[in-house]
Amino acid sequence: MVTALQPYRAERYDIGAARDGRPLVLQPITAAMADRLGEAIAQIGPWAHYAIAGTALAEAFKSTGTITASYQIECAGESAGAVVIRPQWLVGAYLQMLAVLPAFQGQGIGTRVVAWFEAEARLKGRSAWLCVSAFNPGAQRLYRTHGFELVARLADLVRDGDDELLMRKRLK
């Protein structure tokens, strides 16, 4: 009997290469790496804007199980960021977080991670979902390039005055 692959397994994924040829890998996050990445990611992007503590991010990374899958993004063996997935969300998968550290931005890493996310989502779901901050046009551009479409604007979701954009890509 052949068993279908389950998406977002707790294993290493080779996801290609950065623009400069360095290999990209996703690895399940260890507790020590969760602490380091939590602090680093709290200093950038929407997480800094919302003043989300590094300890809170680290705890979210550590809570991997049946609800979420968390991975460290490695570029040539160096920690380049993190990705957190909810494998089962509204008849599909939900990209809960994609964070690329500043030293690794602009290398096509986000593109590789989104392509991997979509490929894994196709194993079981009809849709791939994500939310992006309305004040983050670079991330919106990345997701639109991959075929994600705006489904809803969620006004004041995280904080009054800041909207989040719920996006979906139909897979089937």
Q: Please give the residue that has the higher pLDDT: either 153 or 64.
A: 153
pLDDT of residue 92: 92
Residue pLDDT, tens place only, 22-51: 999 999 999 999 999 999 999 998 999 999
149-157 average pLDDT score: 95
- Average pLDDT value for the chain: 93
Query: Both ends of the chain: CA-CA distance in Å?
Result: 25
C-alpha closest to that of 146 among 91, 98, 87: 98
pLDDT of residue 1: 47
Q: Which alpha helices (H) appear in 28-164, and where do they start and end?
A: 31-41, 45-49, 54-62, 109-121, 137-145
Residue 64, pLDDT > 90, answer: no
Q: What is the pTM of this model?
A: 0.92
C-alpha closest to that of 24 among 32, 35, 16: 16
Residue 2, pLDDT > 60, answer: no
For residue 115, report the phi and psi dihedrals to the nearest 5 degrees: -65, -40
Residue pLDDT, tens place only, 110-151: 999 999 999 999 998 899 999 999 999 999 999 999 999 999
Residue 82, pLDDT > 70, answer: yes
Domain topology for 13-170? Aminopeptidase (3.40.630)
C-alpha closest to that of 130 among 161, 172, 99: 99
Domain spans in the chain, listed from the N-terminal domain onward: 13-170
